[in-house]
Amino acid sequence: MIVEVIAVGTELLLGQIVNSNVAVIGRRLAEEGFDAHFQVTVGDNLARLTDTIRTAVLRSDAVILTGGIGPTQDDLTREAICEVAGRRMVRNEEYANVIRERIMAARGVMPENNLRQADHPEGAEQLPNANGMALGISLEHEGTWLFAVPGVPSEMRVMIEDQVLPRLRRAAGEPTVLVSRVLKTWGWGESQVAETLDDLFGSTNPSVAFLIDGMEVQVRITAKAENVDLVESLIAPVETEVRSRLGTTVFAQGEETIESILIELLSARAWRLGTAEGVTLGRVGARLAAAPGGAAVFQGALAIPAFLASGPLQLDSRPVSAEVAVAMADRAASLHGAEVAISVTDAHPYDHQGDPARTVYIGVHTPSGTRARSFRLLGEGERFRSFAITAALHTARQAITDEWREASTNSPWSWQW
């Protein structure tokens, strides 16, 4: 069953409000096994909204509109549905009285435009609103179901869950189970992951897709079947093949993160971690400390440019290098009283001379020794900093698990991000 989502509101087009509703609805549709081929955003214009609904009706089995059913003149979703379905607008007088009583009790004054929230296309079913006043709409038109729900997120979520999804399940008949398995990788760029899995992308059930999250590449395997057991049987062989091809670049699955993996590794060994950071400004430590369980293993962070001769690390003024990163990590371990210490530093910001990539040195001290690696990272400011933070956390993970590798064309150490 194909379900299209239309978000209504000029403020969404202007970026004045983040369009989070489509993400929430899209995720729930996927979890229920419905196909979502289109998501459209349209402004508060009756002609354009009407055309958008007509297009959706032609290509989808159901359409969910969010927004545009409030009391003001620019709330036009009800009118547009009337235009598309050829229905006249009618008022639920019983509910109009409820609106009058509620607003008079709360404010003492009742603007007449509030009664628009009791209006609906003739023949449509009005959906109760547990968290607000505007009633939703359910209407079948030429074999396509039209649903209108509020744009206010707290009202939308409850109406989708309690009113819309049950009706979609009934309309679809036997429910279909859809499951996605997400494998998280680090060390290869998106092009290398795509090339390695190239022949798998042609599959439709399961389907294989990938998305980028900073320096991490996520591989999503999605399958659909009549029940969970059948879905798992479809996903399992593809997951095995993906893991075989990507090898140790796969570091996590599903909700796991580099922070949760690192905290688990430290906790299992009863180790604590501290950092000494230049370009990352203490944010490697902050990310770890902010994660669930992080406070139990995090000892502290020093934020200091490594090229300065003064400061708690008392480094000399030698050029930044892997050796400096090693010295920083060793000193940080001692100062923090930690078994593991991460150091992050890069060359002086004025030494790049127009080079689009900057070199960052990451050192990791563990009870078995201290090593450092260099990364060539593209970008400036926050982009460069976020890449360096991710690289530091993963380098620590590999140091703790003894996954240090010699630099080669296939290793993360020589990659230019």
Question: Do 395 and 274 reside in the same domain of the chain?
Answer: yes
Chain position carrying tokens 């440019």: 305
Question: Do 37 and 112 reside in the same domain of the chain?
Answer: yes
Question: Do 202 and 236 reside in the same domain of the chain?
Answer: yes
Q: How many CA atoms lie within 13 A of 315 on its CB side?
A: 25
Strand order of the β-sheet with 125-127 is 39-42, 3-8, 62-66, 144-149, 136-141, 125-127
Q: What is the pLDDT of residues 140-163, one digit of tens each?
A: 999 999 999 999 999 999 999 999
pLDDT of residue 353: 54
Q: What is the C-alpha to C-alpha distance for residues 2 and 130, in angstroms, rounded to an integer?
A: 27
CATH code for the domain of 343: 3.90.950.20
Question: Do 213 and 331 reside in the same domain of the chain?
Answer: no
322: three-class secondary structure by DSSP:
helix
- How far is residue 94 CA from its own chain's centroid? 43
Mean pLDDT of 202-226: 87
Nearest to 182, CA basis, from 252, 229, 231: 252
Judged on CB neighbours under 10 Å (0-12, 13-18, 19+), 37 is exposed
Contact between residue 396 and residue 372 where contact means Cβ atoms under 8 Å apart: no
pLDDT of residue 389: 95
pLDDT value at 406 more than 70: no
pLDDT of residue 317: 52
Question: Do 76 and 152 reside in the same domain of the chain?
Answer: yes
CATH code for the domain of 215: 3.30.70.2860
Phi/psi at 410 (nearest 5 deg)?
-105, 10
Amino acid at position 133, single letter: M
Nearest to 148, CA basis, from 63, 91, 233, 73: 63
Residue where a domain stops, chosen among 214, 232, 253: 253
Identify the bridge partners of residue 87 per DSSP, sorted by sequence position: none
Question: Do 114 and 237 reside in the same domain of the chain?
Answer: no
Q: What is the pLDDT of residues 47-96, one digit of tens each?
A: 999 999 999 999 999 999 999 999 998 999 999 999 999 999 999 999 99
Instruction: Look up the pTM and report it.
Output: 0.70
pLDDT value at 182 more than 90: yes
pLDDT of residue 176: 67
pLDDT of residue 89: 96
Question: Do 7 and 142 reside in the same domain of the chain?
Answer: yes
Query: Greater confidence, 293 or 176?
Result: 293
pLDDT of residue 148: 97
Nearest to 7, CA basis, from 150, 130, 131: 150
Q: What total of structural domains would you count in the chain? A: 3
Mean pLDDT of 368-394: 89
- How far is residue 73 CA from its own chain's centroid? 34
Question: Do 296 and 229 reside in the same domain of the chain?
Answer: no
pLDDT of residue 315: 53
> Mean pLDDT score of the chain, rounded to an integer?
88
Q: What is the DSSP letter of 115?
A: G
252 contact partners, CB below 8 Å, separation of at least 6: 183, 184, 258, 260, 261
> Which tokens in the block code for residue 175?
């429910």
Judged on CB neighbours under 10 Å (0-12, 13-18, 19+), 32 is middle
| Minimum mean pLDDT range among 178-187, 204-213, 216-225, 242-251 | 204-213
Residue where a domain stops, chosen among 172, 198, 232: 172
CA-based torsion, 412, 370, 383, 295: positive or negative: positive
Query: Greater confidence, 103 or 120?
Result: 120
Contact between residue 305 and residue 278 where contact means Cβ atoms under 8 Å apart: yes
Residue where a domain stops, chosen among 221, 253, 285: 253
Q: What is the C-alpha to C-alpha distance for residues 272 and 401, in angstroms, rounded to an integer?
A: 15
Percent of the chain topping pLDDT 90: 65
CATH code for the domain of 26: 3.40.980.10
Task: Please list the helix, strand and coil fractions of the chain in percent, rounded to the nearest 5, in that order.
Answer: 40, 25, 30
pLDDT of residue 347: 60
Q: What is the pLDDT of residues 272-316, one digit of tens each?
A: 999 999 889 999 999 999 999 999 999 999 987 644 434 455 555
Question: Do 8 and 155 reside in the same domain of the chain?
Answer: yes
72 contact partners, CB below 8 Å, separation of at least 6: 113
Written as one string, the DSSP assignment of 361-393 is: EEEEEETTEEEEEEEEEE--HHHHHHHHHHHHH
Question: Do 161 and 198 reside in the same domain of the chain?
Answer: no
pLDDT value at 16 more than 70: yes
Identify the bridge partners of residue 140 per DSSP, sorted by sequence position: 145
Question: 101-105, 318-322, 361-365 — which one is most confidently predicted on average?
Answer: 361-365
End-to-end CA distance of the chain: 40
pLDDT value at 394 more than 90: yes
pLDDT value at 414 more than 50: no
Question: Do 233 and 164 reside in the same domain of the chain?
Answer: no
Give the residue numbers spanning the domain of 195.
Answer: 177-253
Identify the bridge partners of residue 223 per DSSP, sorted by sequence position: 179
> Angle, nearest 10°, between helix axes 77-85 and 46-59?
50
Residue 226 pLDDT level (bands cut at 50, 70, 90): confident
Question: Do 125 and 144 reside in the same domain of the chain?
Answer: yes
